[in-house]
Structure 1
Amino acid sequence: MDARASARSREGHAASAGVADKWVLIQENTFRNWVNEQLRPMNMTVTDFEKDFENGVKLCALITVLQGKSPGRVIQSPKNPHQELENVALALSAIANDNIRLVNIGKSQVVILI
Protein backbone atom coordinates (compact mmCIF):
# COMPACT_ATOMS: atom_id res chain seq x y z
CA MET A 1 0.00 0.00 0.00
CA ASP A 2 1.33 3.42 -0.93
CA ALA A 3 2.25 5.58 2.08
CA ARG A 4 0.35 8.44 0.50
CA ALA A 5 -2.87 6.40 0.39
CA SER A 6 -2.70 5.74 4.14
CA ALA A 7 -2.43 9.40 5.18
CA ARG A 8 -4.74 10.42 8.00
CA SER A 9 -6.54 13.64 8.81
CA ARG A 10 -6.07 15.43 12.13
CA GLU A 11 -9.10 13.56 13.42
CA GLY A 12 -7.51 10.22 12.50
CA HIS A 13 -9.76 9.43 9.56
CA ALA A 14 -8.22 7.91 6.47
CA ALA A 15 -7.89 10.52 3.73
CA SER A 16 -8.79 9.83 0.13
CA ALA A 17 -5.91 9.31 -2.28
CA GLY A 18 -6.21 12.81 -3.81
CA VAL A 19 -6.26 14.51 -0.41
CA ALA A 20 -3.40 12.29 0.78
CA ASP A 21 -1.29 13.23 -2.25
CA LYS A 22 -1.91 16.91 -1.60
CA TRP A 23 -1.04 16.50 2.09
CA VAL A 24 2.22 14.71 1.24
CA LEU A 25 3.17 17.45 -1.23
CA ILE A 26 2.49 20.12 1.38
CA GLN A 27 4.66 18.29 3.91
CA GLU A 28 7.43 17.79 1.34
CA ASN A 29 7.38 21.47 0.33
CA THR A 30 7.39 22.59 3.96
CA PHE A 31 10.36 20.37 4.78
CA ARG A 32 12.22 21.46 1.62
CA ASN A 33 11.71 25.11 2.57
CA TRP A 34 13.02 24.42 6.09
CA VAL A 35 16.07 22.56 4.72
CA ASN A 36 16.80 25.39 2.28
CA GLU A 37 16.58 27.93 5.10
CA GLN A 38 19.12 25.87 7.07
CA LEU A 39 21.43 25.56 4.04
CA ARG A 40 21.27 29.25 3.14
CA PRO A 41 24.50 30.10 5.05
CA MET A 42 26.25 27.39 2.99
CA ASN A 43 24.92 28.89 -0.30
CA MET A 44 23.17 25.61 -1.11
CA THR A 45 19.60 24.72 -2.01
CA VAL A 46 17.65 21.51 -2.36
CA THR A 47 15.04 21.04 -5.07
CA ASP A 48 14.80 17.22 -5.17
CA PHE A 49 15.68 15.31 -1.99
CA GLU A 50 16.58 12.08 -3.78
CA LYS A 51 18.96 13.70 -6.24
CA ASP A 52 20.32 16.47 -4.04
CA PHE A 53 21.16 14.29 -1.02
CA GLU A 54 22.33 11.30 -3.06
CA ASN A 55 26.05 12.13 -3.08
CA GLY A 56 26.06 13.15 0.59
CA VAL A 57 27.54 16.65 0.10
CA LYS A 58 24.37 18.61 0.88
CA LEU A 59 23.36 16.10 3.53
CA CYS A 60 26.70 16.65 5.30
CA ALA A 61 26.26 20.42 4.92
CA LEU A 62 22.85 20.18 6.59
CA ILE A 63 24.33 18.12 9.43
CA THR A 64 27.13 20.70 9.81
CA VAL A 65 24.63 23.54 10.12
CA LEU A 66 22.36 21.69 12.53
CA GLN A 67 25.10 20.33 14.78
CA GLY A 68 27.46 23.27 14.52
CA LYS A 69 30.37 21.05 13.56
CA SER A 70 31.53 19.08 10.55
CA PRO A 71 30.71 15.38 10.50
CA GLY A 72 34.24 14.73 9.19
CA ARG A 73 36.15 14.95 5.93
CA VAL A 74 33.51 15.41 3.25
CA ILE A 75 34.46 14.67 -0.36
CA GLN A 76 33.08 17.83 -2.02
CA SER A 77 33.11 16.44 -5.58
CA PRO A 78 32.61 12.71 -5.30
CA LYS A 79 33.70 10.94 -8.48
CA ASN A 80 32.14 7.52 -7.90
CA PRO A 81 29.49 5.72 -5.82
CA HIS A 82 32.12 4.65 -3.26
CA GLN A 83 32.91 8.29 -2.45
CA GLU A 84 29.19 9.11 -2.31
CA LEU A 85 28.71 6.24 0.16
CA GLU A 86 31.57 7.63 2.29
CA ASN A 87 29.87 11.03 2.47
CA VAL A 88 26.48 9.59 3.35
CA ALA A 89 28.06 7.29 5.95
CA LEU A 90 29.66 10.37 7.58
CA ALA A 91 26.28 12.11 7.78
CA LEU A 92 24.44 9.06 9.12
CA SER A 93 27.19 8.44 11.67
CA ALA A 94 26.97 12.05 12.88
CA ILE A 95 23.20 11.68 13.24
CA ALA A 96 23.59 8.42 15.17
CA ASN A 97 26.26 10.00 17.40
CA ASP A 98 23.67 12.65 18.32
CA ASN A 99 21.59 9.82 19.84
CA ILE A 100 19.06 9.82 17.02
CA ARG A 101 17.91 6.32 16.13
CA LEU A 102 17.95 5.54 12.45
CA VAL A 103 15.74 2.54 11.79
CA ASN A 104 16.27 0.77 8.46
CA ILE A 105 18.18 3.71 7.00
CA GLY A 106 21.64 3.01 5.75
CA LYS A 107 23.97 4.62 3.28
CA SER A 108 22.80 2.38 0.44
CA GLN A 109 19.22 3.64 0.91
CA VAL A 110 20.43 7.21 0.26
CA VAL A 111 22.91 6.60 -2.57
CA ILE A 112 21.28 5.17 -5.68
CA LEU A 113 23.70 2.54 -6.94
CA ILE A 114 23.61 1.90 -10.67
Structure 2
Amino acid sequence: MYRSYSTNQAFVFVAVEQQQIQKRTFTNWINAQLSRRNPPSMVLDLFTDLRDGTRLLDLVEVMSGHRMKREKGRGIFQHRGNIERALNFLKNKSIRLVNINITDIMDGKPTIILGLVWCIILHCHIKELTRTLSLDSSSLESLSSLESRSQSPLAGKHGSPRHTQFHSSAKKTLLLWVQQLCWR
Protein backbone atom coordinates (compact mmCIF):
# COMPACT_ATOMS: atom_id res chain seq x y z
CA MET A 1 0.00 0.00 0.00
CA TYR A 2 1.35 3.41 -0.99
CA ARG A 3 1.68 5.98 1.75
CA SER A 4 2.04 9.69 1.08
CA TYR A 5 4.12 11.98 3.26
CA SER A 6 3.90 15.69 3.77
CA THR A 7 6.83 17.88 2.76
CA ASN A 8 7.88 18.28 6.40
CA GLN A 9 7.79 14.54 7.02
CA ALA A 10 9.87 13.92 3.90
CA PHE A 11 12.40 16.54 4.97
CA VAL A 12 12.73 15.00 8.43
CA PHE A 13 13.11 11.54 6.91
CA VAL A 14 15.89 12.74 4.59
CA ALA A 15 17.65 14.57 7.44
CA VAL A 16 17.54 11.50 9.69
CA GLU A 17 18.78 9.27 6.86
CA GLN A 18 21.62 11.69 6.09
CA GLN A 19 22.60 11.79 9.77
CA GLN A 20 22.70 7.98 9.89
CA ILE A 21 24.92 7.87 6.79
CA GLN A 22 27.27 10.43 8.32
CA LYS A 23 27.31 8.50 11.59
CA ARG A 24 28.28 5.24 9.83
CA THR A 25 30.87 6.96 7.65
CA PHE A 26 32.49 8.85 10.52
CA THR A 27 32.42 5.78 12.77
CA ASN A 28 34.23 3.79 10.07
CA TRP A 29 36.79 6.58 9.63
CA ILE A 30 37.42 6.81 13.38
CA ASN A 31 37.79 3.03 13.67
CA ALA A 32 40.28 3.02 10.79
CA GLN A 33 42.33 5.61 12.68
CA LEU A 34 41.97 3.88 16.06
CA SER A 35 43.11 0.57 14.57
CA ARG A 36 46.60 2.16 14.29
CA ARG A 37 46.65 2.77 18.05
CA ASN A 38 48.55 0.47 20.39
CA PRO A 39 46.47 -1.13 21.84
CA PRO A 40 43.75 -0.54 19.25
CA SER A 41 40.42 0.82 20.40
CA MET A 42 37.07 0.95 18.68
CA VAL A 43 33.91 3.04 18.47
CA LEU A 44 30.66 1.10 18.26
CA ASP A 45 28.19 3.98 18.63
CA LEU A 46 29.63 7.36 17.71
CA PHE A 47 27.14 9.35 19.77
CA THR A 48 27.65 7.43 23.00
CA ASP A 49 31.26 6.25 22.80
CA LEU A 50 32.76 9.76 22.74
CA ARG A 51 30.81 10.89 25.81
CA ASP A 52 33.51 10.00 28.35
CA GLY A 53 36.31 11.57 26.30
CA THR A 54 38.63 8.53 26.31
CA ARG A 55 38.06 7.52 22.69
CA LEU A 56 38.22 11.16 21.68
CA LEU A 57 41.63 11.35 23.37
CA ASP A 58 42.58 8.08 21.62
CA LEU A 59 41.72 9.66 18.27
CA VAL A 60 43.65 12.83 19.06
CA GLU A 61 46.65 10.72 20.06
CA VAL A 62 46.60 8.77 16.82
CA MET A 63 46.15 11.85 14.65
CA SER A 64 48.77 13.95 16.44
CA GLY A 65 51.31 11.37 17.56
CA HIS A 66 51.25 12.91 21.07
CA ARG A 67 50.41 10.91 24.18
CA MET A 68 47.44 12.44 26.00
CA LYS A 69 47.01 12.35 29.77
CA ARG A 70 43.66 11.01 30.98
CA GLU A 71 41.64 11.71 34.08
CA LYS A 72 41.43 8.66 36.32
CA GLY A 73 37.98 7.48 37.31
CA ARG A 74 34.64 7.13 35.62
CA GLY A 75 32.68 10.08 36.98
CA ILE A 76 31.26 13.11 35.27
CA PHE A 77 34.21 15.30 36.29
CA GLN A 78 36.70 12.86 34.77
CA HIS A 79 34.66 12.70 31.56
CA ARG A 80 34.52 16.49 31.45
CA GLY A 81 38.29 16.72 32.00
CA ASN A 82 39.03 14.24 29.20
CA ILE A 83 36.80 16.04 26.71
CA GLU A 84 38.20 19.42 27.74
CA ARG A 85 41.76 18.18 27.26
CA ALA A 86 40.96 16.88 23.76
CA LEU A 87 39.13 20.06 22.71
CA ASN A 88 41.90 22.30 24.06
CA PHE A 89 44.50 20.28 22.18
CA LEU A 90 42.51 20.64 18.95
CA LYS A 91 42.08 24.38 19.50
CA ASN A 92 45.82 24.74 20.10
CA LYS A 93 46.37 23.03 16.73
CA SER A 94 44.29 25.82 15.13
CA ILE A 95 41.25 23.65 14.49
CA ARG A 96 38.18 25.89 14.59
CA LEU A 97 35.57 24.36 16.85
CA VAL A 98 32.51 26.57 16.43
CA ASN A 99 29.66 25.88 18.87
CA ILE A 100 31.26 22.66 20.07
CA ASN A 101 31.29 22.46 23.84
CA ILE A 102 31.91 19.84 26.49
CA THR A 103 28.34 19.41 27.69
CA ASP A 104 27.00 18.79 24.18
CA ILE A 105 29.54 16.01 23.68
CA MET A 106 28.75 14.54 27.09
CA ASP A 107 25.04 14.63 26.17
CA GLY A 108 25.82 12.83 22.89
CA LYS A 109 24.21 15.48 20.69
CA PRO A 110 24.45 14.10 17.15
CA THR A 111 24.94 17.35 15.24
CA ILE A 112 27.69 18.51 17.60
CA ILE A 113 29.55 15.20 17.51
CA LEU A 114 29.26 14.94 13.73
CA GLY A 115 30.54 18.52 13.46
CA LEU A 116 33.48 17.77 15.74
CA VAL A 117 34.48 14.66 13.83
CA TRP A 118 34.12 16.51 10.53
CA CYS A 119 36.44 19.28 11.81
CA ILE A 120 39.02 16.65 12.76
CA ILE A 121 38.72 14.86 9.40
CA LEU A 122 38.94 18.10 7.49
CA HIS A 123 41.97 19.30 9.40
CA CYS A 124 43.88 16.02 9.34
CA HIS A 125 43.30 14.98 5.76
CA ILE A 126 43.55 18.39 4.15
CA LYS A 127 46.69 19.11 6.16
CA GLU A 128 48.12 15.80 4.93
CA LEU A 129 47.13 16.63 1.36
CA THR A 130 48.75 20.05 1.68
CA ARG A 131 52.00 18.44 2.79
CA THR A 132 52.11 15.83 0.05
CA LEU A 133 50.71 17.81 -2.85
CA SER A 134 53.48 19.04 -5.12
CA LEU A 135 52.72 22.26 -6.93
CA ASP A 136 54.33 23.23 -10.21
CA SER A 137 54.83 26.84 -11.32
CA SER A 138 51.46 27.09 -13.10
CA SER A 139 49.82 25.85 -9.93
CA LEU A 140 51.57 28.55 -7.93
CA GLU A 141 50.22 31.15 -10.36
CA SER A 142 46.71 29.71 -9.93
CA LEU A 143 47.17 29.75 -6.18
CA SER A 144 48.35 33.34 -6.41
CA SER A 145 45.20 34.41 -8.27
CA LEU A 146 43.09 32.46 -5.78
CA GLU A 147 44.82 34.25 -2.90
CA SER A 148 44.41 37.70 -4.45
CA ARG A 149 40.68 37.11 -5.00
CA SER A 150 40.25 36.37 -1.31
CA GLN A 151 42.06 39.64 -0.47
CA SER A 152 44.88 38.07 1.48
CA PRO A 153 48.48 38.66 0.45
CA LEU A 154 50.23 35.78 -1.27
CA ALA A 155 53.71 36.53 -0.06
CA GLY A 156 54.50 34.97 3.29
CA LYS A 157 56.94 36.36 5.83
CA HIS A 158 59.89 35.24 3.74
CA GLY A 159 58.32 36.32 0.44
CA SER A 160 59.46 33.39 -1.71
CA PRO A 161 56.89 31.42 -3.73
CA ARG A 162 58.18 28.13 -2.29
CA HIS A 163 57.76 29.43 1.26
CA THR A 164 54.28 30.68 0.39
CA GLN A 165 53.43 27.28 -1.07
CA PHE A 166 53.71 25.61 2.31
CA HIS A 167 51.92 28.37 4.20
CA SER A 168 48.90 28.59 1.91
CA SER A 169 45.51 27.65 3.19
CA ALA A 170 44.82 23.93 3.16
CA LYS A 171 41.35 24.51 1.72
CA LYS A 172 42.75 26.60 -1.12
CA THR A 173 45.32 23.93 -1.86
CA LEU A 174 42.62 21.28 -1.95
CA LEU A 175 40.53 23.45 -4.27
CA LEU A 176 43.51 23.90 -6.55
CA TRP A 177 44.12 20.14 -6.61
CA VAL A 178 40.47 19.48 -7.53
CA GLN A 179 40.65 22.11 -10.27
CA GLN A 180 43.75 20.44 -11.71
CA LEU A 181 41.98 17.08 -11.78
CA CYS A 182 38.95 18.60 -13.51
CA TRP A 183 41.04 20.34 -16.19
CA ARG A 184 42.85 17.18 -17.26
Same fold (TM over 0.5): yes
Cα deviation, 1:18-61, whole Å, max 9, x if unaligned, reads: 33332322222111100000011232111112221111100000
Match of 1:52 in 2: 49
Task: State the Cα RMSD in Å.
Answer: 2.1
> Which of the residues 29, 38, 50 maps onto 1:34?
29
Structure 2 residue 65 is the aligned partner of structure 1 residue 92:
no
Please tell me whether the aligned partners of residues 52 and 106 of structure 2 are also in contact (alpha carbons under 8 angstroms): yes
Gaps of 5+ in 2: 1-6, 108-184
Structure of larger gyration radius = 2
How many positions carry a matched residue from both structures?
98
Measured after TM superposition, the shift of residue 74 of structure 1 is 1.1
Measured after TM superposition, the shift of residue 99 of structure 1 is 0.2
What's the % identity of the aligned pairs? 32
Cα deviation, 1:70-112, whole Å, max 9, x if unaligned, reads: 2x3113x532101111100110001101101111212122124
Greater relative contact order (CA < 8 Å, ≥ 6 in sequence): 1
**Structure with greater helix share of residues:** 2
Gaps of 5+ in 1: 7-14
1:1-114 matched pairs, under 5 angstroms: 16-42=11-37, 43-70=40-67, 72-75=68-71, 78-112=73-107
In 1, Cα distance between equivalents of 2:50 and 2:59: 10
In 1, Cα distance between equivalents of 2:75 and 2:19: 32
